[in-house]
Amino acid sequence: MNVFILGGDARYIEVIQLLAEHGMMVYVTGYDSLPQSKPNIIASDMEKAPMEKIDAILLPVQGTDQDGKVETMETRQEIYLTEKWLRKTSNHCVIYTGVANEYLETLAAETKRQLVCLFHRDDLAIYNSIPTAEATLKIAIDETDTTIHGAKVAVIGFGRVGQTVARLFYQVGANVTVAARKSAHFARLTELGMTPISFDELEAFAGEMDLFINTVPALVITENIINKMKKDPVIIDLASKPGGTDFHIAEKLGIKAIHALGLPGKTAPKTAGQIIGKVLLHLLREQQAESR
């Protein structure tokens, strides 16, 4: 198969190598100093690649911005995913991305190309929650002046990331309180030895907490909740942009609030890249089998 990788961060170095090792022809752009260790890894300008042969396109984890601009790691060249360029690919070409925005969804619909959001998949999200949780713990250790053991930690959300984060902090001795919505989650948290609360109870519990970790991509750490916090708590927000914290109010009140995006790519790029690469390879093989 012919795969075109547009931009990305350090994680994608691993993805490129893994796909090449499994016999894919990998075209890449946005990497000025990528080691050409294999003959089937080809640095290519977007306009010079054999677009009619491209079976799949891999975009960065964040996809594109609302203008179609693609994030690159180590080049000054600006890369844009446009309708004109995409129409040069074969009709069966699939676009793979971490997440998608309105621009990307509209572009895929207009060009009739399948769009696959990797981070919507349970398998990848759960695997990826491991380096995310470890990186969150590192930030918590670096940004606080007390041990995590014995600290009162509020984890907001008990989804795929929230579960791993809550479990890790509990395992190192934190007193973990989790804001959840489902009754099944309340039961599971009780069984695990953690304290479940509803989102409506966050404000009442805010004054007891030393550390807040948000995983919900909606405004949940509101002005009212921040006003009830201690003088020196730390907020670590893991949710995608714009996050789930009122950062303006936190800054105004002198509360440390960290919007920690893309943690696996920053702290464990090799492992995170292998996770993405293995899931992508599985999907590419499925795509290849379906096209036969």
Cα(19)–Cα(1) distance, integer angstroms: 10
Reduced to 3 states, what is the DSSP secondary structure of residue 31?
A: strand
Looking at the chain, the domain(s) classified CATH 3.40.50.720 span 2-120+269-291, 124-261
CATH topology of domain 2-120+269-291: Rossmann fold (3.40.50)
Tell me phi and psi for residue 43, to 5 degrees: -75, 125
The pTM assigned to this predicted structure is 0.85
Would you say 267 and 131 are in contact if contact means Cβ atoms under 8 Å apart?
A: yes
Q: How far is CA 202 from the centre of its chain?
A: 25
Q: Do the Cβ atoms of 162 and 156 come closer than 8 Å?
A: yes
pLDDT given for residue 20 in this prediction: 94
Between strands 56-58 and 41-43, the pairing is unpaired
Per DSSP bridges, beta strands 41-43 and 25-29 are parallel
Q: Can you tell me the distance from the alpha carbon of 272 to that of 134, in angstroms, rounded to the nearest whole number?
A: 12
pLDDT attached to residue 35: 64
Other CB atoms within 10 A of residue 134 CB: 17
CATH of span 124-261: 3.40.50.720
Q: What confidence score (pLDDT) does residue 34 get?
A: 72
Q: Which two tokens stand for residue 155?
A: 């984890």
CA distance 43 to 61: 20
**Alpha carbons within 13 A on the beta-carbon side of 246:** 13
| Tens of each residue's pLDDT in the chain, 292 residues | 999 999 988 899 999 999 999 999 999 998 877 766 788 999 888 888 899 999 999 999 989 999 999 988 767 788 999 999 999 998 999 999 999 999 999 999 999 999 999 999 999 999 999 999 999 999 999 999 999 999 999 999 999 999 999 999 999 999 999 999 999 999 999 999 999 999 999 999 999 999 999 999 999 999 999 999 998 999 999 998 889 999 999 999 999 999 999 899 889 999 999 999 999 999 999 998 887 6
pLDDT of residue 43: 87
- Provide the token pair at 101: 């925005």
Tokens of 221: 């750490």
